[in-house]
Structure 1
Amino acid sequence: MKCSLLWTVLTVAAFAAATPAARHSLKVKESIAVPRGWAKRDVAPRHMRLNLRIALPQSNFALLEQELYEVSDPAHERYGAHLSQAEVNELIAPRPESVQQVKAWLAGHGLREEDLSFSPAGDWIKVAVPVSLAEEMLDAEYHVYEHSEGDTLVRTASYSLPEHLHEHVELIQPTTLFSRFRGMKTSFRLHELDASVAPPASAPPIHVPSASGGKVDASCNTTITVQCLKELYNAVGYTPKANTGNQIAATGYLDQFANLADLQLFYADQVPAAINTSFKLVSINGGQNNQSEPGGEANLDTQFAFGISHPIPATFYTTAGSPPFIPDVGTPTDSNEPYLDWVDFVLNHPNPPQTISTSYGDDEQTVPLSFAQRVCNDFAQLGARGVTLTFSSGDGGVGDGDPDPATQQCFTNDGHNKTEFLAAFPASCPFVTTVGGTHLVPETAISFSGGGFSNVFSRPKYQDQQVEAFLNKLGPKTFAGLFNKNGRAYPDVSAQADNFRIFFEGRAALIAGTSASCPTFAGFVALLNDARLRAGKPPLGFLNPLIYSLKSGFNDITTGNNPGCGTQGFNATKGWDPVTGLGTPNFGVLEKLVV
């Protein structure tokens, strides 16, 4: 009765606030320059429905961040004491006043409480409205925007809110988010074994002191397999268990489907012990896994992440929604916001996998500041709960994600067209572990390995020492003005990223990109979690404070560079660098350090 009365009172007040006279109090909440490559087309259909997501300020995020670092720092007494879902939700729940004010505003536009849905912590409100109502609520003009590569979005370059709501709302989307969220693979080709490329069967192994037994099969210089990775990263002979509670997952978007028949061919070829096993399929927002349309990205992610970590239980998240979105009578709802759907889902899961690999991202500058910060904060929630998130660093070197340096566009979207290195997101979020790329044996940095410095996030303390050492070696004049030396630096680590032998449509294929290095590294993290859980210890969770504190455990990569933007990019050097991070994993050493 009390709740009903309160809702009635708030509704009346909100209707009063929505009068024409009161609307003069509307104030721009967010306005952007439309990112390069997007062109405004038609006015958005008035009837089309938008799934508006309203982010309310998280009341105690600073405390959550403090707790995240405490439970992730091996030098802290609370290391490994991860928070429960309920504890995290309590810390980030919005203030009641914010909830009341936003509900009242929505009620003033005819939206009832039953029209609304809430995140577990109540810090996100979702409501479906037609474009016509969204424009009225936000004093916005939605249009259809088309990218030069064919993607289509319904967006507005600016939106407003009543001035009194600004302190109660962090952001509303879809409005100003023009990110395309691409897969991070640079090449994909069907492959038949070529005697002119493959080394002779009698070729001697390659001497690598840090590898298992100090050697790696010569074939690994032309084709990467699970066995190659276990040899190179010193994990031969380690067999995880299936019943420790450990889990690993890979995410799939943009109609990238993981083919089960191809997985069995891959297992027969590289992981015979896994034949007739599979992954758990989790559909988000109606996501499919169409077996007649296999995806090279999805096959790569599942085959290598799950092949390395077998028999640890594996999950493939398939999330619906993909560009190009063509608004018409047949598609009345804009559903190409798959990434937020996945974040919503996994935050609502009481027991998410301890390791999750994502091989997708976009240019940081295409993501509004408010959105980037909020999504990054959502990642912090998962880290506090003991989840390791790995993300690809990108495939454009220091450029804009285009793997071809000749066609890269390295200009800011702020209207000034300033030339600068372009960071990637979510790779630039300080609460994830970002994975760059190497190739060949012995290893060297691969040229497309994304790396650099964020223009959104400041450098976290856990990487101060290593990044400052790199900057001192680089000197103040090198690339002056092209990057933010005070920004979050990435990648954190790296792994092989070229000539991965996967199976696609029943045939062997070779694929390259940090889409390969990311699930590879995640597979080895899952093995480390296996070792910890078997020893009665909690999972690793957010890795970065740990790995930046270690004096060993990674193979330092000191050759190669990541060109882009008309430059040679950064060089891989001794210690951390923005090409290969701290280096590639030495599982045998890391296992001893973390157990």
Structure 2
Amino acid sequence: MWPLLLPFALAGSAYSTILHAHTLVESIVSPDGWVNLGAAPAGHIIPLRIALPQANFSALEEHLYAVSDPAHKRYGAHLSKAEVEALVAPHPDSVSAVDTWLSEHGIPNSACTRSPAGDWVSVRVPVALAESMLNTTFYKWKHVEDDVELVRTTKYSLPEHLHAHIELVQPTTLFGRKKGQPAMVRSVGAPQTRAHALRSRGTITVTRSDGSTLTVDASCNVTVTIACLRQLLNIGDYRASGTNGNRIAVAGYLEEYANYEDQQIFYKDQLPEAVNSSFTYTLVNGGRNDQNFSSDTYQDNTNMQTVLGLVFPATGTYYSTGGRGPWIEDSDTDADTVPPYGAWLDFVLAQETLPQTIMTAYQSDEQTIPESYAKRVCAGFAQLGARGISLLVMSGNGGVGDANPDPRTQRCWTNDGRHKKRFLPAFPASCPFVTTVGATMHIPEVPTDVSGGGFSEYWSRPSYQDDVVSEYLTRQLRGTYAGLYNPNGRAIPDVSAQAYNFRIAEWGHLGMHGGGQESTAAFAGLVSLLNDARIEGGKPPLGFLNPFLYSAGTAAFNDITSGNAPGCGTQGFNATVGWDPITGLGTPDFGKLKDLALAL
């Protein structure tokens, strides 16, 4: 289509430029770590995503908190798909203005894809046309650490009359990269030393922060299985119904996949009654169902095995989402970048019914995501919460900045041209409309030394956190690390769970893995069981969790009071009595949470 349309489109854009003077929308300095390789090819195709203002998002946010706050009379009265879309739909004037602008550039309605509420418009255009539309120049960029290549610009403009009708256009200034996922892996079949074997025998009685005790098999201090998680989370003999409609899902991106054969190996090892059961693969935005052992399956294999191991016989879905965020896909590049949250949101928000619990374990440094784009994605997460979906994300695997112990290559610096030392929160963990999970290890539990935590630079602290976070800042930090973090920002994580030495199947073999994705999967499985109990009791699912967790729910958490996650040349934040930015409220007790959830 585009080779025939391009001459007309360029002629149209010249006409449009004469009528409508462009003014700057966004400008950034050249990002740290990226090298400009020169002008991008004129014919390279860019999938532009254009965000129209959401006319009544503030009203949606009010509804979200009303239906999520146990103290509110509307608690649990979640909105329908149609009700949510009506609140975020753009004003007709914005739709008309954007359609006219696209038409002036030779882009017909038939070439546009729109989100369910019409608040996003997507078009695929050549670089030459994008440059004319945005009055900018796109360049090829390469990252010095891993040779990731992107096509981006450092500034773009729009006709002045469109500024009220377009919030952002991407990919333009987004130079994000997915942060590495450090993992602990070794063969389960390796010979044990005598000391190792002795640690695995008997039981351990743990005294929790409220004075209660928990008895756990000593072997769980060496290898964490589903049986161990059921003990650590105090799930006891509770089993999901499997027939009441309760579902859980894992959202996967960046050519990572969940493997059916590995799932069966895991079941044979830990949950024989689940052998021959499976999960649904849902393909989004060109995603694939890749079952080759040569493919990257570590992260999402771990997630699917853990959540389904906890919730069996409830059903599960794996979302395999293709693409590379709001930017370029190129056959000659190997971009390991931010997941395409926008494409995934377009898909799931278009569905009438969804799994009640969804988790994802991908994250990037918040500062690498343009604030305007991050806030629009976060607004999409708010729509899910308003519809009664609990969304769990991990807090990160880099402590306060980066898990890399070499200070010469740590990512602990601002990318705004000042190169100032700064603790770096993760996204989407920093979005206030998701529940963010930190990572613990061992018995009794302490934080892992890479559990992500900190304070957002983009979002102010939500009211549900005010009391506990203010207490930590005034009682514990008392000015420590001043200037390295935003004390008024949304604080992460909210909660935490075990994350160390999980036994899973990978590439046809059993092995042990660890990281923030494991803790997120464990907590997501627990939430799905809570939703199961509420559905069985004739109640709606929990939906957006945080207002509940930070109020009545705090009584159901074991407070983690020692340990820290060093980074950026510091000891990082520490765990202490009460909420802290490494373990949040602590680790959950399913039995107590279930009683509280059923009483709502």
Secondary structure at the counterpart of residue 125 of structure 1: strand
Counterpart residue type for residue 245 of structure 2? G
Could you say which residue in structure 2 is the equivalent of 1:163?
160
| 1:289 Cα deviation after fit | 2.3
Report the CA distance between 1:401 and its aligned residue: 5.7
Are the structure 2 counterparts of residues 502 and 183 from structure 1 closer, same or farther at C-alpha, using a change threshold of 3 Å?
Answer: farther
Aligned AA (1:412): T
Task: Please identify, of 533-542 and 280-289, the stretch whose mean Cα deviation from structure 2 is larger.
Answer: 280-289
Confirm or deny: 8 A CA contact 2:115 2:346 kept in the other structure.
yes
Is 1:150 aligned with 2:147? yes
Q: Shift of residue 182 of structure 1?
A: 4.0
CA contact (8 A) 1:320 1:338 kept: yes
For 2:558, the equivalent position in structure 1 comes to 555
Pick aligned residue for 1:305 from 293, 304, 307: 307
Which secondary structure does the structure 2 equivalent of 1:314 belong to? Answer: strand
1:262 matched residue in structure 2: 262
Structure 1 equivalent of residue 395 of structure 2: 393
Classify the secondary structure of the residue corresponding to 2:163. helix
* Per-residue deviation, residues 417-453 of structure 1 (Å, max 9, x unmatched): 1111111100000000000000000101111000000
AA paired with 1:561?
N
Out of 115, 132, 135, the position equivalent to 1:136 is 132
Structure 2 counterpart of 1:38: 34
Q: Secondary structure at the match of 2:197?
A: coil
Aligned equivalents of 1:445 and 1:562: distance in 2?
7
Give the corresponding residue for 1:4.
Answer: none
Shift of 1:188: 3.4
Alignment partner, residue 49 of structure 1: 45
Residue 411 to residue 462, structure 1, CA distance change in 2 (3 Å): same
1:570 partner letter: F
Q: How does 1:321-400 map to 2 (within 5 A)?
A: 321=323, 327=330, 338-400=340-402
**Pairwise CA distance, 1:463:** 0.5
- Following superposition, the deviation at residue 192 of structure 1 comes to 2.6
The code of the aligned residue for 1:416 comes to R
Identity of aligned residues (%): 52
| Structure 2: distance between partners of 1:204 and 1:327 | 55
Q: Distance in 2 between matches of 1:437 and 1:469?
A: 22
Residue of structure 1 aligned with 2:122, choices 115, 126, 139 = 126
What is the rounded CA distance, in whole Å, between the counterparts of 1:498 and 1:334 in structure 2? Answer: 25
Give the superposition deviation at 1:274.
1.0
Q: Aligned with 1:58: secondary structure?
A: coil
Asked if the contact 2:338/2:364 (under 8 Å) is kept, the reply is no
Is 1:462 matched up with 2:464?
Answer: yes
One-letter code of the match for 1:555? N
Structure 2 residue runs of 5 or longer lacking an equivalent are: 1-7
CA spacing shift, 1:482–1:183, aligned 2, 3 Å? closer
Note closer, same or farther for the CA distance 1:195–1:187 as it changes in structure 2 (3 Å cut): closer
Q: How many residues align?
A: 581
Which amino acid letter does the alignment assign opposite residue 391 of structure 2?
L
Q: Output the CA distance in 2 between the equivalents of 1:519 and 1:342.
A: 19
Residues 152, 325 of structure 1: 8 Å contact kept: no
Q: Distance in 1 between matches of 2:406 and 2:204?
A: 31
TM-score normalised by the chain length of structure 1: 0.93
User: What is residue 569 of structure 1 aligned with on the other side?
Assistant: 572
Alignment partner, residue 105 of structure 1:
101
Aligned to 2:192: 195
CA contact (8 A) 1:282 1:318 kept: yes
SS at match of 2:440: strand
2:202 to 201, 204, 208: 204
How far apart in 1 are the matches of 2:138 and 2:532?
49
SS of 2:391's equivalent? strand
Contact 1:54 1:173 in 2 (8 A): yes
Q: CA deviation at 1:200?
A: 3.5
Aligned to 1:510, which of 473, 492, 512? 512
Q: Conserved in 2, the CA contact under 8 Å of 1:405 and 1:563?
A: no
Secondary structure of the residue that 1:593 maps to in structure 2?
Answer: helix
CA distance in 2, matches of 1:243, 1:18: 61
Name the aligned partner's letter for residue 377 of structure 2: V
Q: For residues 485 and 393 of structure 1, do their structure 2 counterparts lie closer, same or farther at Cα, with a shift above 3 Å needed?
A: same
- Please state if 1:581 is matched with 2:584: yes
- Give TM-score, length-normalised by structure 2: 0.92
SS at match of 1:248: strand
Task: Note the C-alpha offset of 1:119.
Answer: 1.0
* Contact 2:440/2:448, CA 8 A, preserved across alignment: yes
Residue 31 of structure 1 deviates from its aligned partner by 1.3
Aligned residues of 1:93 and 1:121 also touching (Cα < 8 A)? yes
Q: Which amino acid aligns with 1:488?
A: R
1-structure distance, mates of 2:97, 2:539: 44
Cross-structure match for 1:416: 418
Separation (CA, whole Å) in 2 of partners of 1:86 and 1:489: 32
The Cα shift of 1:167 comes to 1.0
Q: Which residue of 2 aligns with 1:77?
A: 73
Q: What is the CA distance between 1:322 and its match in structure 2? A: 5.2
* Cα distance change of structure 1 residues 572 and 334 upon mapping to structure 2, 3 Å threshold: closer
Residues 254, 320 of structure 1: 8 Å contact kept: yes
What 5-or-longer segments of structure 1 have no aligned partner?
Answer: 1-10
Q: Secondary structure at the match of 1:485?
A: coil
Q: CA deviation at 1:35?
A: 2.9
- The answer to whether the 8 A contact 2:464-2:547 is kept is yes
Which residue pairs with 1:27 in the alignment?
Answer: 23
- Opposite residue 435 of structure 1, the aligned amino acid is V
Shift of 1:190: 3.9
Instruction: Provide closer, same or farther for how the CA distance between residues 406 and 509 of structure 1 changes in structure 2, counting only shifts above 3 A.
Output: farther
How far, CA to CA, are the matches of 2:493 and 2:107 in structure 1? 44
Residue 20 to residue 389, structure 1, CA distance change in 2 (3 Å): closer
Aligned residue runs from structure 1 range 450-489, under 5 A? 450-489=452-491
**Matching of residues 230-309 of structure 1 within 5 Å:** 230-292=230-292, 293-309=295-311
Structure 1 match to 2:596? 593
Deviation of residue 162 (structure 1)? 0.3
In structure 2, do the counterparts of structure 1 residues 443 and 158 end up closer, same or farther at CA, with 3 Å as the change threshold? same
Alignment correspondent of 1:492: 494
Counterpart position of 1:427? 429
Could you tell me whether the CA contact under 8 Å between 2:251 and 2:359 is conserved in 1? yes
Structure 1 residue 406: deviation in Å? Answer: 6.7
What displacement does 1:181 show? 2.9
